[in-house]
Structure 1
Amino acid sequence: MRGFDTKAKKDARPDLVEHSMKELQHLNKYFKKYKWKLILGFFIVLVARIFAILTPKFSGDMIKYVENYIKEGGDLSQLKQQLLMTLFLLLGAALLSAFFTFLMRQMFIVVSRYMEADLKNEVYDQYQNLSLNFYKKNRTGDLMNRISEDVSKVRMYLGPAIMYGVTTVILFATVIPYMLYTAPELTLYVLIPLPILSVAIYQLSRLIHKRSTIVQQYLSHLSTYTQESFSGIGVIKAYGIEPQTYENFEKLSETNKEKNLDLVKVQAFFFPLMIALIGVSNLLVIYIGGKKYIDGSIPDLGVIVEFLIYVNMLTWPVASVGWITSLVQQAEASQKRINEFLKEKPEVVNKTEANTPVTGSIKFDNVSFTYDDTNITALKDVSFEVKNGETLAIIGKTGSGKSTILELIGRLYDTTTGAIQIDQTPIDQLNLKDLRTAIGYVPQEAFLFSDSIKENIKFGNNQASDEEVIQAAKNAVVHKNIVDFSKGYDTILGERGITLSGGQKQRVSIARAIIKDPQILLFDDSLSAVDTETEEEILANLKRIAANKTTILVSHRISSAKNADKIIILEEGQIIQRGTHNELIAQPGYYQELYRKQLDEKEME
């Protein structure tokens, strides 16, 4: 597995169109899914354009009626009747064109939103499937970027780019033939600036895209710095480095402002360039058309009016060709990154769909494990067995492999060598959902969500009643702390549970595991931030709750391990001691030394 490329986005070149479409082929399944809506949208565009091109014709007819009346005279009432009838036709065509244009936008834009939602769901589903190792190798911000910015750029291709592309094709296919039929030479003259406009807009769009990418990068730097400053505000104040922090922020902000100004200066050319070339086209219509009218090549002034309207009507579609090309390039770059991510295969896969209930016995047989991101061997030929209802305590120095054992039991990783059995069944032959449903896991670093305390506890069982939530909190010895808050269990926690102290976060996490009522309880040094008195109360509750459950408790404290049925001591990934508390304190070694040290510390308190 490899990390994704997070360098600046490179502009796609025209010679990469074929490659671009290849990357975007992943979206064909969504086009197929919504094909009938898109086909209907195509016909709606066709109808909308037909009514749109009638409005210049009716406008030209009105000028022709007035011109004929001036030249030839006639009945004024008949002229009024002709003008009134044509005006109603013009108004009707304009209203119908507007109505079908509204339907067109509803069809294409709404469908693009459906596709965007489907693609986001696909990406998020992939997030859920990928193994923990993947997240160690990729930055959270980069992963978030794929489901937000990249998907949004792809939606611009799915919606506006396709909608305006279809509109442009249909408009050209209907308007230009009519113009050529009406006045071929004039048509060729007035169309000359339009390709120039399209190429200019294309080049301008590429430059805008390039500078927009730079702006996004600096905005990301600024946002990251701001977020870290807010998260670490306690450290900043404690070290008194507010001026230095502000100075760094000011530098980032100034750079960000300069990059935004560079972008705005380029964007400022967009509409003036369009208006200038529209003006050139209009001048050509008036000048060339006027000469043709004078020499009799054009029969009436109405044709010139029609051409003026048609030129203005064609201007945005022509300009949009460059814009659409830029959108496709951006979508291709984004879809390429999404495709790379979607092609990633999870290292841990569910090998069976059959239900495999778990009762809780665990056996490690010569298990070794090496983290491939660091190449650190965390476990070396580790073997032990825990029967259903027993408690195993694991003690060892930092980095000895204690947490790795818990991660392997939850099958967050697969072993490098050796085998793990749950209920005499190889762990990889169990239904992954059934296995993890049977486990209540309290990680070393308690993670709480930005929600209420009650909802954080109910994360272990979203069907739990309020009474069950309170009982779980009491068993975790955190109930008294919670009720002291002004909003009690409805207190909203800050990001990562920052509202609570370290010990409170650990106890809420324990309550979350307890309320799940699992067959296996895994505690990864989850009492390190509580005092010994609270620890003893929690352990007494856990002993009662876990009477028929398999419990594995990782700790640095002898007090947490002494009542376990079995204790193993890890050092550099190997078991160096094993036995009960009484057996181990009688043996010279790490456990006895730790016991005496902690006993002396307790006596000194």
Structure 2
Amino acid sequence: MKPLWRINKYLYKYKGLLLLGIIFTVISNIFVIIPAQLVRIAIDYVVESFSLYRPLMKGGLGEFARENFLDFVFVFGILILVMALLRGFFLFLIRQTIIIMSRKVEYDMKNEIFEHYQNLPLSFYRKNSTGDLMARISEDVSRVRMYLGPAIMYGLNLLILFPLVIFYMISVNPELTLYSLLPLPILSVSIYFVNNLINERSEKIQKSLSELSTFVQEAFSGIRVLKAFVREEDSAREFTKASEEYKHKSIELTRVNALFFPLIMALVGISTIITVYAGGLMVIQGEIGYGVIAEFILYVNILTWPVTSLGWVTSIVQRAAASQTRINEFLDIQNDIVSTENLKAEIEGDIEVKDLTFVYPDSGIKALDHISFKIKAGETLGIIGTTGSGKSTIANLLMRMYDPTSGFIEIDGKDIRRYNISDLRRQMGFVPQDVFLFSDTISNNIAFGLDHADQALIEKAAKDADVFQNIIDFPKGFETMLGERGITLSGGQKQRVSIARAIAKEPKILILDDCLSAVDTKTENSILSALKRIMENRTSVIISHRVSSAKLADHIIVLHDGKIIERGNHESLMSKKGVYAELFEKQTQSSESIEG
């Protein structure tokens, strides 16, 4: 239960609903017990009335006695019906308090986890899969909700009803109480083991279903590749194999489920037989009346579900504790990317990097090794390098997705760690190498970084990114809905919409991380011409493996294995006849041969 202590704060928050639920459970159980006593009294009354009825029939008072007898039976019937209705009403109120409380807690938990996820650093997402994150916020929270709702509700019912019923049974006849309750512990233990089997097989089914869903998702996402390589039959065969495994596990679960209710009915039946047999002997000996047997049979049936639920509730609590442990693991991870002074200020755009070294915490790969550079406000820096040279790492560090292993980054002469992180990022425009667009309209994707969408600003950004004409060519224009991850658009269009999204913010610092890799030379030149206007009076960092993208820069650094091997502007680097000039010659020749 220790992991579940974490959610006591929610129980305290909704203590009013919980307290009402307890009160309604007590009242509901009183209306469960009273009908059994009424049945005993009614049966004893009927038996006694029959013994008096025959002499009265002979004395001519039979019709009068019959009417009185039926009136009393009718009153008992009405009372039992009223008790049942009142019990039903209070059961409704129990669900309206405890189950609604569990739904409110579920809502709060999901929001807390989601908010915590968003505050965690990028390194957290490199270590953990999206599927695992999703499972903890959906399936694990649902299991905890089952503890907060049904488990607490049935647990309370058991704790309140069991002592009440046992007390009444003992007060009527202690010996018959012992006989009646003999099979119930066996029932509870049996249900516990059957439930564990059900849960174990349910887990296997969930895992199998998850694998089946992943297989289907991959098949449909990569349908073009499947068709291109003519692997439809292989794919169908693999799906059949996965489906067969899922079917086999489902049948295993059905077989275990088939034991559940027969087991309950068998043990309840045994308990009823023992009660009738032992009670019958006591009636013969004159120790109890007929009504006591009926009352005890009702009590046994009343206790059947609470005792049955004990195994079920125990199982739910175990699963909830395991799920809460998984949730706590992520909630206990703290974001180490925090502001030291929470400084909020309008930045000018001066950037200075001093002796910067960075090692990725999850992989231990040294991405940057003692690099330094300076950009004045309004200037442009080009960062050139081959794949794996550390270009994107610089972008991540400037956006403060990570903190340097050693060295410093200063913006306007102040350590980047002093700034409020959200305020700093709000003043930066970032175009990632791996473009991500949301399943929304093109207009909303471009306006994503804006607090208030301005159509004129959205259209201007689209024109600057050389994507305006493409957008208005769609039947719905800017209101065109993009598919998952922007699948509606081509690779080049996605990159240009991503550029438009960054520049729509009108940032002080613009970081372009190899964002022109999916566009042709003509489109690249068009975007670069537009960017030349955009980058005026704005600090810009152009990261690319293509020299043509870096030509606009005031300063260029060339990276290799995390180290700066050359620096200067385009002309000075060309005159050095080094790595930069060599790259330029190769790329110019390849583009000319492609065009030819």
Scaled by the length of structure 2, what TM-score is found? 0.95
Task: Look up the equivalent residue of 1:530 and give its one-letter code.
Answer: V
Which of 217, 225, 247 is matched with 1:227 structurally? 217
One-letter amino acid matched to 1:268: A
Q: 1:66 aligns with which of 35, 39, 46?
A: 46
Show CA shifts across 1:119-168 (max 9, x none). Answer: 11221122112111111111111111111111111111111111100001
1:294 aligns with 2:309: no
Query: Which amino acid in 1 is paired with 2:411?
Result: I
Instruction: Determine whether 1:84 maps to 2:74.
Output: yes
| Aligned amino acid, residue 568 of structure 1 | I
Q: Deviations over 1:219-268 (max 9, x none)?
A: 12111111111111111111111111121121111111111111111111
Residue 349 of structure 1 deviates from its aligned partner by 2.0
Q: In 2 relative to 1, CA 506–293 (structure 1 residues): closer, same or farther, beyond 3 Å?
A: same
Distance apart, 1:516 and its partner CA: 1.4
**Is 1:264 aligned with 2:254?**
yes
The question of 1:353 aligning with 2:342 is answered yes
Task: Look up the equivalent residue of 1:52 and give its one-letter code.
Answer: V
2:545 equivalent in structure 1: 556
1:251-290 CA distances to partner (integer Å, 9 max, x unpaired)?
1111111111111111111111111111111222222222
Amino acid corresponding to residue 69 of structure 1 in structure 2: S
Amino acid at match of 1:360: G
Aligned to 2:28: 48
Once the 2 structures are TM-superposed, how far is the Cα of residue 407 of structure 1 from its aligned partner?
Answer: 0.3
User: 2:587 & 2:216 partners in 1: Cα distance?
Assistant: 42
Other-structure match for 1:33: 13
Q: Is the 8 A contact 2:343 2:418 kept in 1?
A: no
Match of 2:446 among 457, 479, 487: 457
Residues 338-417 of structure 1: matches in 2 within 5 Å? Answer: 338-417=327-406
CA distance in 1: counterparts of 2:479 and 2:228, whole angstroms: 31
- Could you tell me how far 1:486 is from its partner in structure 2? 2.8
Q: Which moved more, 1:419-428 or 1:206-215?
A: 206-215
Report which stretch shifted further, 484-493 or 111-120. Answer: 484-493
Task: Name 1:133's counterpart in structure 2.
Answer: 123
**1:306 lines up with 2:295 in the alignment:** yes
Larger radius of gyration: 2
- Deviation of the 1:439 alpha carbon: 1.2
Q: Which string of whole-angstrom CA distances, capped at 9 and with x for unpartnered residues, describes residues 10-66 of structure 1?
A: xxxxxxxxxxx1111111111111122211111111011111211222233322332
Q: Which digits, 9 at most, give the CA deviation of each residue in 1:472-496, with x for residues without a partner? A: 2222111222222233222222221
Equivalent position SS for 1:253:
helix
Contact persistence 1:161–1:328 (CA under 8 A):
yes
How far 1:602 sits from its partner (Å)? Answer: 3.9
Q: Let me know the Cα RMSD of the aligned residues.
A: 1.5
Equivalences for residues 132-531 of structure 1 within 5 A? 132-299=122-289, 301-531=290-520
Aligned counterparts of 2:443 and 2:408: Cα–Cα separation in 1 = 39
Q: Distance between the aligned counterparts of 2:254 and 2:580, measured in 1?
A: 67
Aligned counterparts of 1:512 and 1:253: Cα–Cα separation in 2: 43
Counterpart Cα distance in 2 of 1:58 and 1:455: 68
For residues 59 and 161 of structure 1, the distance between their equivalents in structure 2, rounded to whole angstroms, comes to 31
- Distance (Å, rounded) in 1 between the aligned partners of 2:151 and 2:133: 25
TM-score, normalised with respect to structure 1: 0.94
Q: Distance in 2 between matches of 1:220 and 1:245?
A: 17
Amino acid at match of 1:49: N
1:581 to 553, 563, 570: 570
Structure 1 unaligned residues grouped into runs of 5+:
1-20
Instruction: Evaluate the alpha carbon distance shift between residue 236 and residue 568 of structure 1 in structure 2; reply closer, same or farther with a 3 A threshold.
Output: same
SS of equivalent to 1:273:
helix
The letter for the 1-side match of 2:21 is: G
- The separation in 2 between residues aligned to 1:490 and 1:164, in whole angstroms, is 51
**1:354 offset after TM fit, Å?**
4.2
- SS at 1:23's partner residue? helix
Aligned residue number for residue 6 of structure 1: none
Give the letter for the 1:27 counterpart. Answer: I
Contact persistence 2:342–2:418 (CA under 8 A)? no
**1:493 match: secondary structure:** coil
TM-superposed deviation, 1:374:
2.2
Separation in 2 of the partners of 1:497 and 1:462?
22
2: CA distance between counterparts of 1:476 and 1:350? 33
CA distance in 2, matches of 1:284, 1:575: 89
Match of 1:119 in 2: 109
CA offset at residue 317 of structure 1?
0.4
Aligned counterparts of 1:70 and 1:359: Cα–Cα separation in 2: 102
Task: Spell out, residue by residue over 1:314-347, the C-alpha distance to the aligned partner (whole angstroms, 9 max, x if none).
Answer: 1010000001110111111111111111111223
**Displacement of 1:88:** 2.3
Distance change in 2, residues 1:357/1:141 (3 Å): same
Q: Match of 1:14?
A: none
SS, match of residue 70 in structure 1? helix
SS at 2:576's partner residue?
A: coil
SS at match of 1:106: helix
User: What letter matches 2:552 in structure 1?
Assistant: N
Question: Counterparts of 1:102 and 1:352 in 2: how far apart (Å)?
Answer: 53
> Please, which moves more after superposition, 364-373 or 73-82?
73-82
Structure 2 gap ranges (5+) = 57-64
Partner amino acid, structure 1, of 2:34: L
1:462 deviates by: 4.5
How big is each residue's C-alpha offset from its partner over 1:527-577, in whole Å with a ceiling of 9 and x where there is no partner? 111122222222222222232221111112222111211111111111111
CA contact (8 A) 1:358 1:434 kept: no
Q: How many aligned positions are there?
A: 584
Give the partner amino acid of 2:501. Answer: R
Q: Distance in 2 between matches of 1:543 and 1:515?
A: 15
Distance, in Å, in 2 between the alignment partners of 1:160 and 1:22 is 19
SS of equivalent to 1:189 = helix
1:459 aligns to what SS in structure 2? helix
**In the TM superposition, what whole-angstrom CA distance separates every residue of 1:386-413 from its partner, at most 9, and x where no partner exists?**
1111111111111111111000000111
Q: Do residues 109 (structure 1) and 99 (structure 2) align?
A: yes
Q: In the alignment, which residue of structure 2 is the partner of 1:18? A: none
